Amino acid sequence: MARSTTIHVCSACGHQEPRWQGRCPGCGEWNTLVEEAAPQASPGGRSRGLGAAGGSGGGRAVKPVRLRDVQSPRVARLSTGIGEFDRVLGGGLVPGSLVLLGGSPGIGKSTLTGMAMGNLAGAGHGTLYVSGEESAAQVKLRAARLPGAALDVPVLAETDLDTVIATMVAERPEVCVIDSVQTLYASELNGAPGSVGQVREVAGRIARVAKETGTAVMLVGHVTKEGALAGPRVLEHLVDAVLQFEGERERTYRTLRALKNRFGSTNEAGVFEMRSGGLVEVLDASGRFVSEATRAPGSVVLASMEGSRPLLVEVQALVSPSELVPPRRMVNGIDRNRVALVLAVLARHGGVPTGSADVFVNVVGGVRIDEPGADLAVALAVASAVRGASLGGDSPQPLACFGELGLTGELRSVGHPERRLEETKKFGLRTVVAPEGSGPGAVAVGSLRAALRAALPPTRARAAEAA
């Protein structure tokens, strides 16, 4: 009887079964058995147990090397020709590395990789574009709109993993893009493409080929409804870098973040603008957002940090009487739970209740802010909308701020205050409300009430204090 080439492994406890079962016999969890390729038996059928001398069956001992004696040669990176992309990667693509690029459908992942591959092909590097979602003709239509040598990139429209790996070994490209990893399938597994077992097997085999041939591979991945990368978490552990491409399809701005990077910093982020000819780097994003900022009630400029560089964005709030119970809380660009916390602190320690009103908070431009330094901006924007007064009084420039709110109403310091203040000074924003100890040039406050007094006109501040 032929030996089965696949096994079913429980994703919760690791228990193995030759056939699929609804419930794991090991831990009792339901629907956790995932099909995987069976491990190959060692030559000669040797047992993998410890031998009489304590060594492994057939293995040989290797003398460890002290870290100070390890040779670490400098590896030349491959520049994609896109400055923002290279900076997020840590200086470019490392030969033999795996980069996972995720993002929602239509956000521009294929456009970004197509532009990078065109620049690499134009620089004389060997490239290969594997498309599992589109035909070669569809890939050509998109490449025709891109600048550079995008039409010179070899394309392979294939979903069979064995064919893709054989082509990579035969062609030996320096950079290979697989769009997307969820569309490839291993013929020895019965699961559908995109299943946990298929994605794990596909990524594992591609990783081995990349390390053996020195090919830098960019894997394009799908995301879930919540925006997280789809597939097993082992996929994120397997690759060397995980990049998240964020933004809204209706907006022109896109943000590229590094969630994991073995060859660089995870504090970097790149900003792009989607145009008809592809993605364009936005080197001065703060200038774009500040020039569009208004002085209307409910508007404030947030001095945030995107990785290692400051970014000025406009935060807007709208508060209106609600006819619903409970009232609506619509948030765009900031974590919804964080906004709920800020509203509670604002009502308890700032004297600005919003319990019976609909509250809408939006970060203008489609940018997403994930740092606690945005708390003060949300609080001031909501307070300004409730009171119907512009922040900063009669100043012709918008008011800027940053700071984290504590549950007791205190204003806490955040990272890199000097860089935030330098960015606001660069664009002529004179009034910057910030936590104490942020540095010269800021209106230093220690609590939310003090921030309201400094930001709102005197009459409104007194009304807030009286409330």
Question: Measuring CA to CA, how many Å separate 96 from each of 153, 205, 386?
Answer: 19, 13, 55
pLDDT at 32: 83
Question: Measuring CA to CA, how many Å separate 145 from each of 7, 118, 211, 379?
Answer: 46, 12, 33, 44
Question: How crowded is residue 324: how many other Cβ atoms within 10 Å of its Cβ?
Answer: 8
% helix, strand, coil for the chain, step of 5: 30, 25, 45
Please, what is the end-to-end C-alpha distance for the chain in angstroms? 83
The values of phi and psi at residue 249, to 5°, are -65, -25
Contact 210, 170 (CB under 8 A): no
For 30, which DSSP code?
A: B
Q: To 10 degrees, the CA torsion angle through 140, 145, 147, 151?
A: 10
The rounded distance, in Å, linking the Cα atoms of 334 and 139 is: 35
Alpha helices by DSSP H, 218-317: 233-238, 285-292
3-state secondary structure of 400: strand
pLDDT at 458: 67
Show Cβ contacts of residue 371 under 8 Å, excluding neighbours closer than 6 positions. Answer: 304, 305, 414
Q: What is the per-residue DSSP string for 362-388?
A: EETTS----SGGGHHHHHHHHHHHHHT
Per-residue pLDDT of the chain (467 residues; tens, 9 = 90+): 455 678 888 877 778 888 888 999 988 889 888 887 776 655 555 544 444 444 555 678 999 999 999 987 788 899 999 999 999 999 999 999 999 999 888 889 999 999 999 999 999 999 999 999 999 999 999 999 998 899 999 999 999 999 999 999 999 999 999 998 999 999 888 878 888 888 888 999 999 999 999 999 999 988 876 666 766 677 888 899 999 998 877 778 888 989 899 998 887 888 898 888 889 998 888 888 888 888 899 999 999 998 778 999 999 999 999 988 899 999 999 999 999 999 999 999 999 999 999 999 999 887 889 899 999 999 999 999 999 999 987 778 899 999 999 999 999 999 999 999 999 999 989 899 999 999 998 999 999 999 999 998 765 444 444 44
The rounded distance, in Å, linking the Cα atoms of 178 and 219 is: 5
pLDDT at 343: 96
Q: To 10 degrees, the CA torsion angle through 254, 256, 257, 260?
A: 150
For 183, which DSSP code?
A: G
The rounded distance, in Å, linking the Cα atoms of 311 and 2 is: 62
Question: Which of 172, 96, 179 is closest to 143 using CA atoms?
Answer: 179
For residue 103, count CB atoms less than 10 angstroms from its CB and return exposed for 0-12, middle for 13-18, buried for 19 or more: buried
Report which residue type is found at 91.
G
The rounded distance, in Å, linking the Cα atoms of 348 and 201 is: 53
